[in-house]
Amino acid sequence: MKKSFVPIITVVGCLLCNSPVMARILIDGVNVKGSLHSVFRVPGQTVEVALPSGWQTDHDAPNVAIIVDASHQTYQWQSQQGGEDFTLQVFSLIPAERVRNGRLGNYMIGTYPVPPKQNTAAHQPPAGFLQVSPRLVDMQITDHFSLRPFISKQPGEFPKYLYLNDKLLAFLEDFRAAIEQQGFDIQGFGFISGYRTPHYNQQLDNINHSQHMYGNAADIYVDVDQDGRLDDLNRDGQHNASDAKFLFGLAERFMRSSPDYKGGLGLYVPTRKHTGFIHVDVRGYPARW
């Protein structure tokens, strides 16, 4: 981080601390249940932090508004009863107006479709991009995910740039926990891709309005044994399409039972070129393929 400071806001009356299924903290309306979360905003934007009912800060202010400046910032809250803490990392983005001829520095961003498809929030070009230096690559951005898997896989020197909707991060954390509750010893996911620049997305001959370009999407698989392919989730002794369908079913049931999340789910069975995986996104309305 170029600069960080840590205002400790003490939380008292931690009535919900032992209830993992209940709302914990709302960050710009996103329900965050873990102990580490990150948001990506351009300078001047405001991040609204709302503590759950029953929590108060030592300033007697249950709601906090953070105004983003030109440097990354870290905020931390601690439970007065101990044992609970929450860290919010606010990443300051390079404004999108700085993109020139489809580039930021030497890094190819490409061009976002204009006008946005359907003109929905899910198709609005990012307001800015995070400059990713080598030292940021393995930085944790939530409890179980670092920046690394979300970086566009296109060739190019550092600094690289990306945008992420932090609601995707909350989704991935919650979905990971849901899979764990099914009895799988899962830490993170294997990633096929996270953010894609329009430049890279075009090279992949992908659809014009891919949610990957808007930081809303990830292509993931369960890889507890870390051999680079989807695990034998249905435990039939074989690695094949049925495991991808099993994962898709888990995601479908999770999304259907989670009012916080509406979005896309895509099934990709294994081929000679890639393992089985699923696409997930938080576009705000259902899509299936």
Q: How far is the CB of 50 from Ca ion (least distance, A)?
A: 39
- Tell me if 161 sits within 8 A of 130, measured CB to CB: yes
Of 180 and 236, nearer to Ca ion (C-beta) is 236
Chain residues in the site for Ca ion (CB under 5 A)? 223, 225, 227, 229, 231-232, 234, 236, 238, 243
Q: How far is the CB of 224 from Ca ion (least distance, A)?
A: 7
For residue 237, what are the CA distances in angstroms to 182, 233, 246?
18, 9, 14
Of 155 and 237, nearer to Ca ion (C-beta) is 237
The CB-based long-range contact list for 183-187 (8 Å cut-off, 24+ gap) reads 184/222, 184/224, 184/231, 184/233, 185/224, 186/222, 186/224, 187/144, 187/224
Of 232 and 260, nearer to Ca ion (C-beta) is 232
Q: How far is the CB of 237 from Ca ion (least distance, A)?
A: 7
Cβ contacts of residue 190 below 8 Å, gap of 6+? 220, 221, 222, 223, 226, 228, 229, 230, 275, 277
Q: How far is the CB of 240 from Ca ion (least distance, A)?
A: 6
Q: How far is the CB of 144 from Ca ion (least distance, A)?
A: 17
Of 69 and 236, nearer to Ca ion (C-beta) is 236
Q: How far is the CB of 268 from Ca ion (least distance, A)?
A: 15
- The string over 204-239, giving b where at least 16 C-beta atoms fall within 10 Å of a residue's C-beta and e elsewhere, is eeeeebbbbbbbbbbbbbbbeeeeebbbbbeeeeeb
- Rounded to the nearest 10 degrees, the angle between the axes of helix 166-181 and helix 241-256 is 110
Nearest to residue 150, comparing CAs of 229, 227, 216? Answer: 216
Of 55 and 145, nearer to Ca ion (C-beta) is 145
Q: How far is the CB of 285 from Ca ion (least distance, A)?
A: 32
Query: Tokens 């899962």 correspond to what residue?
Result: 186
β-pairing, 73-79 vs 8-12, is: parallel
Of 25 and 222, nearer to Ca ion (C-beta) is 222
Of 203 and 234, nearer to Ca ion (C-beta) is 234
Q: Which run of H or of E encompasses 123?
A: none
